Amino acid sequence: MPLGPAPERARAALEQLDALRATVSSAEDDVLACLVVTGEPRPQRVLDDWLDQVAETLRELGDQAAALSPTIARFAAGPEAPGTPSQGPSVGLDRQVPLEAEDAR
């Protein structure tokens, strides 16, 4: 059983996380640009609260993607790269398991 994803999968995941962070950052800006003045206190409060929740959700999604990146980056370079922790003996560990199978564990 490998101790992590294959380096090419880790690099692909990092690219996707970077794209996700860029997308949610842009979407957050777009949502905050939608703040309008309705002229009515109650509808204004509802609209402001809803847009704030959407922006906060997008911000949290971007933060979680950023938090995952360092962990995945350790695997992107592969086990032979200098500075990566040793994965110990690789007897019987040369087979890469698809990500779907890793998620099932």
Tokens 């990092």 locate to: 14
Cα distance between residue 41 and residue 92, in whole Å: 66
Strand, helix or coil at 4? Answer: coil
In single-letter form, the type of residue at position 68 comes to: L
Q: What is the pLDDT of residues 47-105, one digit of tens each?
A: 999 999 999 999 999 999 999 999 999 998 876 545 545 443 333 333 344 444 444 43
Q: What is the pLDDT of residues 15-49, one digit of tens each?
A: 999 999 999 999 999 998 988 888 899 999 999 99
Cβ-count burial of 89 within 10 angstroms (0-12 exposed, 13-18 middle, 19+ buried)?
exposed
Cα distance between residue 4 and residue 18, in whole Å: 20
Helices 7-33, 41-76: crossing angle, 10 deg rounding? 160
Domain locations along the chain:
1-73
